Structures are given as structure tokens and as C-alpha cells.
Amino acid sequence: MALVRFLAVAAALGVATGNATAQNYPAKPIRVIVPQPAGDTCDVLTRLITMKMATRLGQQFVVDNRPGASGTIGLALLTQAPADGYTIACGQGGNMSVVPHAMKNVPYDVLKDFSGIAIVATNYLALAVHPAVPFNNVADLVKYAKANPGKLSFGSNGEGAFIHFTTELFRSYVGFEYLHVPFKGIGPMVQEMMGGRVDAAFSSFTGFYPYVKAGKLKLLGVARATRAPNYPDIPAIAETVPGFTSGGWFGLVASSKMSKESIAILNREANWAMQQPDVREKMITLGLDVPNESPEFFDKVIRSDFDKYGAVARKIGLVPK
């Protein structure tokens, strides 16, 4: 009987201690690893959100930029840090969903090593073409590509990069052959498109939009399930190709060993920060959508995109480099 009472007291103390830990969190500054250079979208968003979070939590968020190897250097550091809630990172669709399928010896397992805290923002890709191409919408592009196999050229920012995967995903939905023209970055790709040396490409909507407004590119659609609320006149590609979507996301991620209580606190504060008027305005200016979702939802997004682009890599026989 005495043993039973002892165990009951011990269990109660354990619960009380856990609650106290959660209530006291965070008790010191939090390091936020950004696996991209200063000024990158991941960096800008991380600083914007964590500055707001700091004011409510009373602790500083220290941004630690660790760029390199397509984001894998920074994310690997997260897996090596103590899982005590005081080291988190900015994860992206690219370095968590695509890179593990395109690179050899990635030093982490996305599905085992990380837990989502909160999706900070989502963006969407758009399909644009040179103004001289003989079609004005997605349906006509598909018709032309099928009638002229291998003639239509699509640019990308590199073999195995996110845009290449998106183009292959699009091809898998509609079924045509094309000429892949990889470049060392988005900038050279867009320049070649405007020069008429590349017919089409996917890229971020906000990256394309200034050139579309200037008449240097023609926008056929956005890779969303529905039209963008701020641009209702631009068709969603899914209106012509049902089910096709492709976009990126940015989010705060933690070690999978970090306590659920600490993750819940950071999720609550990140979602609050994202709903502040100045933050929302900045997001809209950057062409980003502002979610307000749970850690569990974010985990599902990570797994879904990882599986989706893994299937693309296998289908095209991509050999990791």
C-alpha cells in the first residue's frame, strides 16, 4: 500500500514538474538557425516573426545564419543541438522536401529528425512564357506540347532543383515531352526567357510578376488549387489540370525530440505574430500567404511534400549528386 502511495505521489510530482517546465518556457534566449544567407526570404521571415514572438515571450530569439549545401548545413546543426527547446530552425519546402531526393549523403532524415512548429508562410509558383509563343493559356500550351514533342523548352534553376521537380510534376499530370534547359539560378533563367531563348518556366509568382507587368513575359497561371485572392483574374493551373499544385513554404522546425509542450507554446506565439497587421502587410507585399495552423498540420505538409517530390524523383530516375 505504501508503495502504491509512493508511486502515485511520484507520478503527480512528475506531472507537476512537466507543467512547471512548460510554464517557465522559455527561460533563456532561443537560437534560430537559418540555413540561408542574410537577406534571403527565409532569413527575412524568421527575423520578422521572431521579433514579434520575443516581445510576448520575454526572451530574445538569436538568428544564426548557416548557409551552404542547399540548406543542409544549417538543418544538420539542428539535429546536433540539444533538444531542449532552445535551438530551432527555419525549414523550407526545398531543403526538406526536394533536396533529400536530389543530393547524396544528406545528413538528416526529414521524417525522423524534425517536428514542425508552425508554417510561417506559403508561396506559390506560376507558369510564364515568352510573349511570342503561340498560346495564351495552359490548355493551349498542353495542346501545343503534345503536338510538338520535345520542341517546347522549359527552363529551371538546375537539375534536381525545385523548379525542375515542379516541371516534371506538371508533365506527369498532362503527359508531354519537353526540352529541359537548366541554369545556375533563377536570374539567368528569367533573362533567357525574356530573350526568347527559353519558351516557358515555373518560378515564384512574385518573381515573375514585374516582368509580366512590363510585357516581357506572359503569365498563364498560378500553381494553386484556387485563384490567388489578391489576383482573381489570373487562372489557377488546376482549373485546366485538376489536382496540380506546387508551391513552397517556410516554417519554424524543431528537433523531433523537443517536448510537445514547448512546441505548442512556440506555435501559439508564431501564429499570433503572423496575424499582426504589419506582419501580414509585409507578407502580402512579398506575395506570400499567411497560414494559421497547428504543429500536426505542418508535420502532415512536410510528409506529403516529401512523398510527392520523392515520387517525382523516382519517376524520372534522378540520380542524387
Distance CA(171)–CA(239), nearest Å, equals: 16
**Backbone torsion region of residue 158, taken as left when φ is above 0, otherwise alpha when ψ lies between -120 and 50, otherwise beta:** left
How many residues does the structure list for the chain? 321
Listed in order, the ranges of the chain carrying CATH 3.40.190.150 are: 29-122+248-316
Instruction: Provide the β-strand partners of residue 253.
Output: 89, 116
* CA atoms in the 13 A half-sphere facing the CB of 177: 5
Q: Quote the CA–CA distance of 37 and 104 in Å, as a whole number.
A: 22
Q: Which amino acid is at 6?
A: F
What whole-number distance in Å separates Cα of residue 176 and Cα of residue 163? 17
Contacts 24+ apart (CB under 8 A), 14-18: 18/261
261 and 21 Cβ atoms separated by less than 8 Å: yes
Fold of 125-239: D-Maltodextrin-Binding Protein; domain 2 (3.40.190)
Residues of the chain with CATH 3.40.190.10: 125-239
CA 264, 265, 268, 274 torsion: positive or negative? negative
DSSP string spanning 110-141? HHHHEEEEEEEEE--EEEEE-TTSS-SSHHHH
Half-sphere exposure of 84 (CA within 13 A, CB side): 11
Q: What is the pLDDT of residue 185?
A: 83
Sign of CA dihedral 207, 211, 214, 220: negative
CA distance 318 to 280: 38
pLDDT of residue 22: 58
Pick the CATH number of 29-122+248-316 from 3.40.190.150, 2.60.40.1930, 1.10.3720.10, 3.40.50.2300: 3.40.190.150
Q: Which helix (H) or strand (E) holds 219?
A: strand 218-222
- pLDDT by residue for the chain (321 residues), tens only, comes to 444 444 444 444 444 333 435 578 999 999 999 999 998 889 999 999 999 999 999 999 999 999 988 899 999 999 999 999 999 999 999 889 999 998 988 999 999 999 999 999 998 899 999 999 989 999 999 999 999 999 999 999 888 888 999 999 999 999 999 999 998 888 899 999 999 999 999 998 888 989 999 999 999 999 999 998 888 999 999 999 999 999 889 999 999 999 999 999 999 999 999 999 999 988 887 778 888 999 999 999 999 999 999 998 998 888 888
**Count of other CB atoms within 10 angstroms of residue 239:** 16
